[in-house]
Each structure stands twice: as structure tokens, then as C-alpha cells.
Structure 1
């Protein structure tokens, strides 16, 4: 794979013991150092005009001034330092790079994956939250739509936390489809099954909140029974995966049980869906806070594109996943 990476993202200093630390990127690079076919590419940071396509001018200005003043606690979870402004612009720029690379034909072993930080999917249009300042995938998708490079984009978020920011930004939009599988009842508390968009965007949001303890077969069931047919109807030009790895069974802050092999299977599903719909495919890093599991997750995505065949999951999904899939099919008129 082609990995978007910049040392500038290490300058976002969250302090000691914060789970979203520069060590996350260092662990990813260590995990990939002996892998075949790994390429690293830097990219220009996002400019203010592109960021402002999804974020309010007042918020962008306030955030820049906050960092210029040395940063601090934006809220009880979200920490900035003097280097966070440049890191956030860089992280958004890497997401844009990944999407543009995919659109120019980078696929197969050249499939792009932006490994920037801070992550983005909790950032709403006028505020930072949940470790996130700029919504990287939203900046990438909306920027390419505004530039006339694509008509439609789809974002699939497999982070264990609901991407409330991405949903909020596109909730009434009919040109971006947002889908999330996440753990029910945890931060940020959004992403109910009946949240399907509104106005022009009704039917372009898909949420599958799954209870604690679910794993590979449950995620795969939602993808096969709901996401796949929904994206076939949406007919997207670009599919971006908001790739968090905190649903892993050994991640320290979640209770989902996705295995490393499960991420290989989901990666393979995304590749198949993108190919079937003639859509470009890009990956953008979100969460994942166990350094070993994060490293293993990114590595297995790479290995899947490098020719490793995922091992099929023979388990059946639990009843909650089956019920949610049936409800979603009805709500989105997929039956």
C-alpha cells in the first residue's frame, strides 16, 4: 500500500498517558518496517479554504489562536499543543491526498492509506471533540465534490465509536453517504439505528449500534446485508474507510471483539464493494489505542492488499446484529 505519512503529525503533543499519542504513528511504522511493498508519501497540508468547506470560519480561527497561545485542554478529552494546528492541517491534507490518489487510479497494491493524527471523525462543523479537531474524511470528501472531481462520496466508519462529526456534517446531504458500525452506549452516545439522515439526505446515513461482545461475524453481517446493497443503490464515485482499530478484541477502551483477521475480512469486503461499484477506495486512520493491536490492524490491511488471502469467518452473527440488519433494511427500503 501507499501510506500517507508526515512527521508534522508527531508534533501534536497530548501529554503523558493520553491514549491518542504520537506513539500510535510510531507503532504503525514499526509494524510495517519489514513488510513487502510499503511506500510512504508526504502531502501538502490542507489549506484553510478546504477546511472551511466543512468547518465554521469562527471555529477555525479560534482553534488556530488556541494553538498559537500554547494549547491546553480544549475539553476534558481533547488536548492541543502549539504543534497541533499544523498537525491537524497535515492530517486533513493526508486524507485529501489518499482520496485523490485513489481517484487517479491507485488501487491494488498501490491503494492509499492516510496515517495521520489527530484523528477526525468526532469533529463537528463548529467544534473539536473526542481527540479530533478537523474532520479529515469530511474535508477530503467535500473538497473533492466542491472541486468537481466527484459527484458522490461514501464513508464507511468501522471505528468502535460513532463518527458523530462526520454524520453531523453530512446529515442533510444527498451527495455523501455515511455508514457506521459502532459499540452501543459508549462515547459519544450518538448513532442510533433510526438516525438515517434528514431532508435531502434522508436515507444516506446508516448506523448499526451493536452491543458489547460482538465480533467478526456481526460486523460482516451488517456489511453484507445492509452496507453492500445500500452502496450499490447510492452509486458512489469514492469510498473512504474511516479506519479505526479500537473495535479490536484487545483494544483497552472498547468491548467489541473484532479479531485481526476480522479486519482483513472487512478490508476484503471493502475492496470487493469498491470494485463492484467502480468506485475509488481510500483508507484514513481514526482511532485505535492499543499500540500492538493498532499496528497489527494497519499491517493486516496492508497484507490483504499485498496478496494475503483472508481466512473466512465460519461463525454466525448474534441475534442483535441480525435484528439491526433487518431494521436497517426496512428503514433504508432495501427489501
Structure 2
């Protein structure tokens, strides 16, 4: 794979006990050292005006001034330092690079993956939250739409937390589809089944809140049997994966049971969805807070594109997951298999 990477993202200092640290990127790089076919690409940072396409102007200016004054705690979870401003623009720029590169034809072993931080999917139109300042995937989607590279963009979020920011930014838009599979009841407490969009965005939001303890088979079923038919109806030009790795069974802040092999299964499933829709495919890093499981997860995504075939899930599918997918398909006016 091609990995977008910028050293500036290491300068975002969240303090000694914060889970979202620069060591996350260092661990990913270390985990990729002995993998075949890894390529790193730098990219220009996003501009203020590009970020303002999905965020309120006054909010962006407030973040800039907050960082310039030395930063601190924006809220109890979301920390900034002076360098956070440049890191956030660099992270958004890497996501733009991934989207543009995918639309330019890079796929297969050259599929782009943006390794930026701070992450983005909790950042709403006018506020930072959940470790996130600028919504990287949203900036990327809006950029390629305005540049004419894509008319319709889908964002699939497999982070264990619901990407409330991405959903909110595009909730009434018909040209961006947002889908999330996440742990039910976990921070930020959004992403219910009945949140399906409004106005022009009616039926362009797909939420699959899984019960704590769900594993590989449940995630695979949601993507293949639930998201697949719905995404076929939307017919995107580009599929962006908001790729968090905190649903891993050994991640310290979630209760899900996805294995490292599960991320290979997910990768293969979204690659198939992109191929079936003739859509470009790009990945954007979100969460993942166990350094070993994060680095293994990213490496597994890479190895799947490098030719490694994923193994079938070991555990059984939960009947609750089947019922939830049937409910979702009914909400979207589709028949279950």
C-alpha cells in the first residue's frame, strides 16, 4: 500500500497519560518495517479554506488561536499544544491525498492509506471532541466533490466509536453516504438504527450499533449482508474507510472482540464492495489505542492488499446481528437475503 505520512503529525503532544499519542504512528511504522511493498508518501497540508468547507469559519479560527496561545484542554478528552494546529492541517491534508490518489487510479497494492493524527471522525461542524479537531474524512470527501473528482462519496467507519461528527456534517446531504459499525452505547452515545438522514440526505446514513462482545463474524455480516446492498443503491464514485482499530479484542478502551484476522476480513469485504460499485478506495486512520494491536491491524490491512487471503471467522454469528441487519434493510426498503 501507499501510506500517507507527515512527521508534523508527531508534534501534536497530548501529554503523558493520554491514549492518543504520537507513539501510535511510531508503532505503525515499526510494524510495517519488515512488510513487503510499503511506500510512504508526504502530502501538502489542507488549507484553512479547505477545512472551512466542512467546519464553521469561527470555529476554525478559534482552534488556530487556541493553539497559538499554547493550547491546553479543549475539553476533558481533547488536548492541544501549539503544534496541534499544523498537525491537524497535515492530518487533513493526508486524507485529501488519499482520496485524490484513489480517484486518480491507485488501487490494488497501491491503495492509499492516510496515517494522520489527530484523528477526525468526532469533530462536528463547530466543535472539537473525542481527540478530534478537524474531520479528516469529511475534508477529503468535500474536497474531491468540489474539485470534480467525484460526484458521490461514501464513508464507511469501522472505528469502535460512532463517528458522530462525520454523520452530522453530511446528515442532510444526498451526495455523501455515511455508514458506521460501532459498539452500542459507547462514547459519544450516537449512531442509533433510526438515524438514517434527513432532507436531501434521507437514507444516506447507515448505523449498525453492535452489542458489546461482537466479533469477526458479526462485523463481516454487517458489511456483506447489510452495507453491501445499501451501498449498491447509493453507487459511490469513492469509498473512504474511516479505519479505527479500537474494536480489537485487546484494545484497552472497548469491549468488542474483533481479532487481528478480523481486520483482514473487513479489508477484503470493503475492497469487494468498492470493486462491485466500480468505486475508488482510500483509507484514513482514526482510533486504536493498544500499540501492538494498532500496528498489527494496519499491517494486516496492508498484507491483505499485498495478496494475503483472510481466514474465515472462528466464532459463530450472533442472531441479534442478523435481526439488526434485517431491520436496517427494511428501513432502507430492501429485502433481506
* TM-score interval (norm. to shorter): over 0.9
Which residue is equivalent to 2:246?
246
User: Aligned-pair distance for 1:315?
Assistant: 3.7
Q: Which one is further off, 271-280 or 284-293?
A: 271-280
* Cα deviation code 1:199-250 (max 9, x no counterpart): 1101000001111111001111111111011111101000000000000000
Matches within 5 A, 1:304-323: 304-313=304-313, 315-323=315-323
> Which residue is equivalent to 2:38?
38
RMSD, aligned α-carbons: 0.7
Partners of 1:95 and 1:186 in 2: CA distance: 26
**Further displaced range: 274-283 or 308-317:** 308-317
Q: Is the 8 A contact 2:215 2:315 kept in 1?
A: no
1:157 corresponding residue in structure 2: 157
Which residue does 2:23 correspond to in 1?
23
- Is the Cα contact below 8 Å between 2:4 and 2:40 reproduced in 1? yes
Match of 2:75 in 1: 75
Q: Which residue of 2 aligns with 1:97?
A: 97
Classify the secondary structure of the residue corresponding to 2:179. Answer: strand
3-state SS of paired residue (2:118): coil
Q: Secondary structure at the match of 2:151?
A: coil
Q: Is the 8 A contact 2:173 2:201 kept in 1?
A: yes
User: Residue 180 of structure 1 aligns to a residue in which SS?
Assistant: strand
Measure how far apart 1:155 and its partner are.
Answer: 0.4
Summarize deviations over 1:80-138 as a string: whole Å, max 9, x none: 00000000000000000001110011001000000000000000000000000000000
TM-score by structure 1 length? 0.99
Q: What's the CA shift string for 1:145-195, capped at 9, x where partnerless? A: 111211000000000000000000000000000000000111000000100
- Structure 2 unpaired stretches of 5+: none
Where does residue 119 of structure 1 map in the other structure? 119
How far apart, in 2, do the equivalents of 1:315 and 1:227 lie? 21
Of the structure 1 ranges 139-148 and 25-34, higher mean CA displacement relative to structure 2 is found in 139-148
State the 1:313 CA deviation: 2.1
**Structure 1 residues 1-335: aligned runs within 5 Å:** 1-313=1-313, 315-335=315-335
Deviation at 1:319, TM superposition (A): 1.9
Q: Is the 8 A contact 2:13 2:84 kept in 1?
A: yes
Q: Secondary structure at the match of 2:55?
A: coil
**Alpha-carbon distance in structure 2 between the residues aligned to 1:31 and 1:309:** 19
Structure 1 residue 316 displacement after superposition: 3.1
CA shift at 1:334, angstroms?
A: 1.5
